[in-house]
A and B are shown apart, each in its own frame.
Chain A
Amino acid sequence: MKRHLLEAADLDRDDATLVLDTAAQIDQALAGREVKKLPTLRGRTVVNLFYEDSTRTRISFELAAKRLSADVINFSAKGSSVSKGESLKDTALTLEAMGSDAIVVRHSASGAPHRLAGWVRGSVVNAGDGTHEHPTQALLDAYTIRRRLGRLDGVRVAIVGDVLHSRVARSNVWLLSTLGAEVTLVAPPTLLPVGVGSWPVQVSYDLDAVLPKADVVMMLRVQLERMNASFFPSAREYSRRYGLDALRLAALGDEAIVMHPGPMNRGMEIAADVADSVRSTIVEQVANGVSVRMAVLYLLLGGASS
């Protein structure tokens, strides 16, 4: 493994497989245990540096670090010196001066973790940067698919919805294609990024045509907070054309699963009964997230200190 985890596009097949295998072994080692804690990162300090709101990712990283016995410091931009105008660099150097070994960073600016990695000595883990990447989400998605379907090679994955604003989609495109899956993006043309033609994916505008052939349907949240223009006429029309409802669920193959990175807009991109159906892996994804992030922290921090 490299020293940082900045983007899924960085990971080759061996690295990615190592993370997934390590997560599986950690899952196995902790299954059915009363003491869900390992001493591996005792004395290491992990800082969660969050410039954007987050529930599951921050808690998941915190839990992962704590289960490996690392000390965890949670930093959120709200209520910190950031509101006094402190820069990302100064904040990071301050945290490192206090002895952090790894910084888990979420930032609204694409590329912020890359800049950070150039400034600090410790490891940097990208927990979501702007509309760029969210690599641990892609790793936990891949892990969930592998657990459910038993393989990734040749699995047909449809990623549906707001691809334009989705770092989850970008990370998944790179990671899943590295691992041999066939990815199809399904979205209205206005919600696909420029240059999607150069990605290792197929593109479709018709959800109903894609569903019967998909092993995995990954629904993306419509990111209203990042939309400063109108990308579709109305929420109802979007939902009619690109939302996953019970009728469309019935068009899926017998083994197909439904994923969503959360948080969901129930009734918008995914109907409530679909989100709660047996095919939905949404809760499982959250649980797997902790194991996968433990694997990442172990592989980045467990070895020789820099």
Chain B
Amino acid sequence: MAGSPAPVPENPSTVLLGAADVARVVDRIAHQVIEKAGDALPDVVLVGIPTRGAPLARRLAGRIAAFAGTAVDVGTVDITLYRDDLRMRGVRALEDTLLPAEGIDGRLVVLVDDVLFSGRSVRAALDALRDLGRPRAVQLAVLVDRGHRELPIRADYVGKNVPTSRAQKVRVHLAETDGTDEVLVTGA
């Protein structure tokens, strides 16, 4: 878990985490996954939620391989077709759904996403997983938890807890998708 809550930044576009912070946070989550999985580490499947959960899951797998010497499986699951807000927000292009060939039955799935907010994306991902197989357990890892949950959902691994107001925006940029690693908070 991250340390004490950071103060809410006042001015627009405050950098919450820089590139080095993001790397440290990913390393810490990797260690926590290793510790929590114990002997079951080879059963772990890191499943990223596109867009930015997918590269995060790949990075986590890389760090876990470096620290524990175990190559864990990585996948992505697109949740667009499972969203409950399509009617409000309109259709959007779909992204990849790729799972290990052995599937996820009986495995320890760790969902990976960039920001945990209302919890609706995670719910959609849980719905999608239910159609894809029956994991032994599902855990959740997020880079940033910004609060304001609308569903009873909690993360197992949190990079950083950030108290925010609803009006604020938390944006995660990753080198793979945006060219640079950083977490920004904008708005008052």
Q: Which residues of A contact B (CB under 8 A)?
A: 1, 18, 21-22, 25-26, 28-29, 32-33, 35, 37-40, 68, 298-299, 302-305
- For residue A68, which residues in chain B have a CB less than 8 angstroms away from its CB? 81
- For residue B91, which residues in chain A have a CB less than 8 angstroms away from its CB? 1, 298-299, 302-303
- A sample of 6 cross-chain residue pairs with beta-carbon separation below 8 angstroms, ordered by A number, consists of A22-B93, A29-B97, A37-B131, A302-B81, A302-B86, A302-B91
| Minimum C-beta distance from A302 to chain B (A) | 4
Are A304 and B82 in contact, with the CB atoms below 8 A? no
| Minimum C-beta distance from A93 to chain B (A) | 24
Are A26 and B131 in contact, with the CB atoms below 8 A? no
In the assembled complex, B35 has its CB within 8 A of some CB on chain A: no
Closest-by-CB residue of A relative to B90 is A303
Within 8 A of A (CB), among B125-153: 127, 131-132
- For residue B86, which residues in chain A have a CB less than 8 angstroms away from its CB? 40, 302-303
- For residue B90, which residues in chain A have a CB less than 8 angstroms away from its CB? 302-304
- For residue B89, which residues in chain A have a CB less than 8 angstroms away from its CB? 303-304
Tell whether A28 pairs with B96 under 8 Å between CB atoms, given A304-B87, A304-B88: yes
Are A39 and B96 in contact, with the CB atoms below 8 A? no
In the assembled complex, B176 has its CB within 8 A of some CB on chain A: no
Beyond contacts A25-B78, A26-B81, A38-B81: 8 other A-B pairs, Cβ-Cβ < 8 A, are A21-B94, A22-B93, A28-B98, A29-B94, A39-B127, A303-B87, A304-B87, A304-B89
| Minimum C-beta distance from B150 to chain A (A) | 19
Are B93 and A38 in contact, with the CB atoms below 8 A? no
| Minimum C-beta distance from A125 to chain B (A) | 15
Closest-by-CB residue of A relative to B94 is A25
- For residue B131, which residues in chain A have a CB less than 8 angstroms away from its CB? 33, 35, 37-38
- Residue of B87, B88, B91, B95 with most chain A CB atoms under a 10 A cut-off: B91
Majority SS at the chain A contact face:
loop
Interface string of B3-47 (1 = CB under 8 A from A): 000000000000000000000000000000000000000000000
- For residue A21, which residues in chain B have a CB less than 8 angstroms away from its CB? 93-94
Contact among B82, B93, B95, B103 for A18, CB-based, below 8 A: B93
Are A25 and B87 in contact, with the CB atoms below 8 A? no
Are B81 and A39 in contact, with the CB atoms below 8 A? yes
Interface string of B60-101 (1 = CB under 8 A from A): 000000000000000000100110001111110111111000
| Minimum C-beta distance from A34 to chain B (A) | 8
Tell whether A305 pairs with B87 under 8 Å between CB atoms, given A29-B78, A37-B131: yes
Contact among B94, B103, B127, B132 for A26, CB-based, below 8 A: B94
State in angstroms the CA–CA spacing of A39 and B86 once bound together.
11
State in angstroms the CA–CA spacing of A32 and B99 once bound together.
10
Tell whether A29 pairs with B88 under 8 Å between CB atoms, given A22-B94, A37-B131, A39-B127: no
| Minimum C-beta distance from B51 to chain A (A) | 13
State in angstroms the CA–CA spacing of A141 and B86 once bound together.
28
State in angstroms the CA–CA spacing of A40 and B82 once bound together.
6
Are A40 and B88 in contact, with the CB atoms below 8 A? no
- For residue A38, which residues in chain B have a CB less than 8 angstroms away from its CB? 81-82, 131
State in angstroms the CA–CA spacing of A1 and B81 once bound together.
17
| Minimum C-beta distance from A110 to chain B (A) | 29
- For residue B94, which residues in chain A have a CB less than 8 angstroms away from its CB? 21-22, 25-26, 29
- For residue A35, which residues in chain B have a CB less than 8 angstroms away from its CB? 131
- For residue B96, which residues in chain A have a CB less than 8 angstroms away from its CB? 25, 28
State in angstroms the CA–CA spacing of A154 and B57 once bound together.
38
State in angstroms the CA–CA spacing of A152 and B61 once bound together.
36
Are A25 and B127 in contact, with the CB atoms below 8 A? no
- For residue A18, which residues in chain B have a CB less than 8 angstroms away from its CB? 93
- For residue A22, which residues in chain B have a CB less than 8 angstroms away from its CB? 93-94
| Minimum C-beta distance from B89 to chain A (A) | 8
State in angstroms the CA–CA spacing of A21 and B96 once bound together.
11
- For residue A33, which residues in chain B have a CB less than 8 angstroms away from its CB? 131-132
State in angstroms the CA–CA spacing of A245 and B127 once bound together.
50
